[in-house]
Structure 1
């Protein structure tokens, strides 16, 4: 199953006066938003911050996405309105330039 996983890295930047608001929004993410992400096949979503720069690592497995899921556009739009005001630069893909894997040891 792990072979089906997809890892994405995204980067965004916050307005200096929006850091606390952005972090507060993520302390209180509505259950519907989290359910929506799980139904899309997201296995792990992590956001890190260094100064005003955000780094998001998303691991998803398309085989875990509900095939007949209904996308709640109102839910998504409401979340994007809330968080969108915090960004000076919105999420964009980061390019992977290196990868190190641990080899399975055959003892």
Structure 2
């Protein structure tokens, strides 16, 4: 399955540059956590302060709630998330207490004639 999620960054060029630096070499424990929970591919794109994540998963393994719970029980992932929150900001549409929020697909070329 493919998930598309959005999150914002704080509007500060220095913070954005540091955020991108961290993502050039994500901590191995964080990468392992992502892969171990059935994520087969993940990409993050940026336009200004808006981030867009594409996450492809193996449906036989992936469960969002299990991945979230696993993150809460993983000190390295929690440290990473705390650090990343120094750079991140919720979108105007993000419910309180959440970070990445799913986007609604409104067009699929394969469904067109």
Q: What is the TM-score with the length of structure 1 in the denominator?
A: 0.77
Q: CA deviation at 1:52?
A: 0.7
**Radius of gyration: which is bigger?**
1
Report if the CA contact (8 A) 1:11-1:94 is conserved: yes
Give the 3-state SS of the residue equivalent to 2:2 in structure 1: strand
> C-alpha distance in 2, partners of 1:40/1:53?
26
Structure 1: unaligned runs, 5 residues or longer: 1-5, 66-70, 103-107
Structure (1/2) with the larger strand percentage: 1
Confirm whether residue 14 of structure 1 aligns to residue 23 of structure 2.
no
1:65-105 Cα deviation digits (max 9, x unpaired): 5xxxxx35212211110111111213211111111229xxx
Q: What is residue 95 of structure 1 aligned with on the other side?
A: 104
Aligned length: 94
Equivalent residue runs for 1:1-107 within 5 Å: 6-17=1-12, 18-64=15-61, 71=70, 72-89=73-90, 90-101=99-110
Report if the CA contact (8 A) 1:40-1:62 is conserved: no
Q: What is residue 3 of structure 1 aligned with on the other side?
A: none
Give the 3-state SS of the residue equivalent to 2:110 in structure 1: coil
